[in-house]
Amino acid sequence: MERKIPEHIGIIMDGNGRWAKQKGLSRSEGHKAGANVFRRICEYAGEIGVKYITFYAFSTENWRRPPDEVNALMNLFRAYLDEAEERQEENLQKGMRIHFIGHREGVPTDIIERFETTERDSRAADKIDVNIAINYGGRLEIVDAVKKIAQKVKDGEINPEDITEQDISDNIYTAGQADPDLIIRPSGEYRLSNFLIWQSAYSEFWFSDILWPDFTEADLDRAIDDFNNRNRRFGGV
């Protein structure tokens, strides 16, 4: 049987802090190690034919972490965005079109400006769409979609009784993209943690005890091989 590559993969990048603790390092060092893995997995996914990949980088709940850790993460995002600008041509050659999904309110202004620059510079790429979820919450995403639809009702563009599931899908952050076929969570946790709540209705899940900084291309291949052994019936027989 031909190996099927999931069209869209979602990844919850978890375990950076625990990895750092095991090695006697600061949590910020764990996040740096995790960022390096993100780059490798992102590029590998494009090479093997994944069309969309969504990385959970910073949730709306992560603001509750210690200020030093939050600041370190913001600086890590800055470093990544600066690097993305430096590697603009290389990223375009690799076909990586980058999107940042989540609430921009509360995110430092200079980071938002870098978001916009990176998205604009990568717009012409067409091999793989890379979604980076920062200040993201799945429930908040649905609330935002409902607000957009409610405004359309208010403006007389749509009747309440005509609202469909497709209207929700057309107004979430990943509008126009396929829903994830496969969601991967390393680090030994077995929950979604408010990630892609709407989109994951029929996703397959793959969990492992691997901490994210130890995650490799071979682990992604193992998850895809496992996905290929699933029987996806979508409610049918």
Positions annotated as catalytic residues are 14, 62
Lowest-confidence range among 85-99, 158-172, 216-230?
85-99
Give the residue among 34, 36, 39, 38 at the shortest CA–CA distance from 94.
39
More confident residue, 155 or 85: 155
Residue 161: enclosing H or E segment and its boundaries? none
pLDDT higher than 70, residue 234 = no
pLDDT higher than 70, residue 95 = yes
Q: Give strand ranges (E) for 14-163.
A: 52-59, 96-101, 128-136
Give the residue among 212, 181, 140, 173 at the shortest CA–CA distance from 53.
181
- Pairing outcome for strands 8-12 and 52-59: parallel
The distance in angstroms from the start CA to the end CA of the chain is 21
Check residue 1 and give its pLDDT: 62
Residue 73 DSSP class: H
What is the distance between the alpha carbons of residues 53 and 9, in angstroms, rounded to a whole number? 5
Check residue 218 and give its pLDDT: 98
What is the distance between the alpha carbons of residues 231 and 93, in angstroms, rounded to a whole number? 35
Question: Are 207 and 185 in contact, with CB atoms under 8 Å apart?
Answer: yes
pTM: 0.94
Check residue 2 and give its pLDDT: 80
With 0-12 / 13-18 / 19 or more C-beta atoms within 10 angstroms meaning exposed / middle / buried, residue 70 is middle
pLDDT higher than 70, residue 197 = yes
What structural domains does the chain harbor? 8-228 (3.40.1180.10)
What is the distance between the alpha carbons of residues 9 and 51, in angstroms, rounded to a whole number? 9
Question: Are 100 and 57 in contact, with CB atoms under 8 Å apart?
Answer: no
Give the residue among 59, 47, 52 at the shortest CA–CA distance from 98.
52
